[in-house]
Structure 1
Amino acid sequence: MSLGQEPPELIENRLFYRGRKFNFEVSKLRLPMGVEGYWEVIRHPGGALAVPITPEGKLVLVRQYRFALKGRLLEFPAGTIEPNEDPAETIKRELEEETGYRANRWQTLGKFPLAPGYSDEFIYAFLAQDLEKLEQPPQQDDDEDIEVVLMSFKEFEAAIMAGEPIDAKTITSFFMARLLLSE
């Protein structure tokens, strides 16, 4: 199902911040139902995520420090899409950098909005299988503090249910992958 497009009428737009990964705008809009007001939005180029599964059936996750939450989250490897980059290329690079694995088989899981109440970011999710460990993985980005974690499907489900800190894109993509694999 595609997103129905009903763009609001733009009355005024202000860019408040241009950042390395996103921009922050405040716009005066007239919504399709006629209401006028000011709305804030984060403009983001989108991200790509992999649900990597080893030949032994283990999920490859990362426990990553996230400064905004002042702690570590369990996540699938993911990254921001660079300008003019295909999401499939983004995630192939990120999988290698963050986990030291390369996938030889890829399937698209789909895309979904991350936080549509304040951001236009979409996540492109992929299933990554037939993994091989790289002898010399690429260097991680300097600002990433990452530990690679292998878990069975049951262990990961238990972590979700126990309330372990796991981000929404990871939980969503896990269930998308499970549905695809059960077909």
Structure 2
Amino acid sequence: MKIECFPVKMKEEEALKIAGGGKNPIIRALFGRKKINLRIMYLESRYITYEMTYKDNIIVRTIKKKKDEDRQKIRVMVEATTCSASYVEDDIATEVKEVEENDIQPTYYEDKRLTDCGAIMAGRMVRRHVGRNLAIKPVEERKVYRPFYIAIYGDMVEGTKARYMPIAADGNVVCRNF
């Protein structure tokens, strides 16, 4: 299956070092000696560009005699597995890759919920001016996959809970400030 995804920038050795605890002695004591199985998975995300329109209310429009509306565009990345959104500063670089069906984790949320989640986050990002109404509508939406190394500790035994740790392999950092 061909997908559009972020390029993998982290090597497997780096991911194994992080999974083994790196320099943290407590993590190394807990997980460092266990067998670590590493596999790469691609998690679905949505890259959405919104156009925001600021409309003055009727009182301000009659006083200022302003007819045109202010417009602004904002880019948002919505993680489709957790339905959480984050602001994207720069344009993203992606590549098309051939991946097996088992290595992809699709979304369980419907498209409208993902679009609304991004619109709510975009509305929080901009400052709402007094006397202005904000209208947000999506202009462009792309389905993009993020690569993650999944470190599974120990053997997979049916009926037991597996300990695992996701490690972002694309080098992007997600900061949630809201």
TM-score normalized with structure 2 length = 0.29
Larger radius of gyration: 2
> Higher relative contact order at CA 8 Å, sep ≥6: structure 1 or structure 2?
2
TM-score between both structures, scaled by the size of structure 1: 0.28
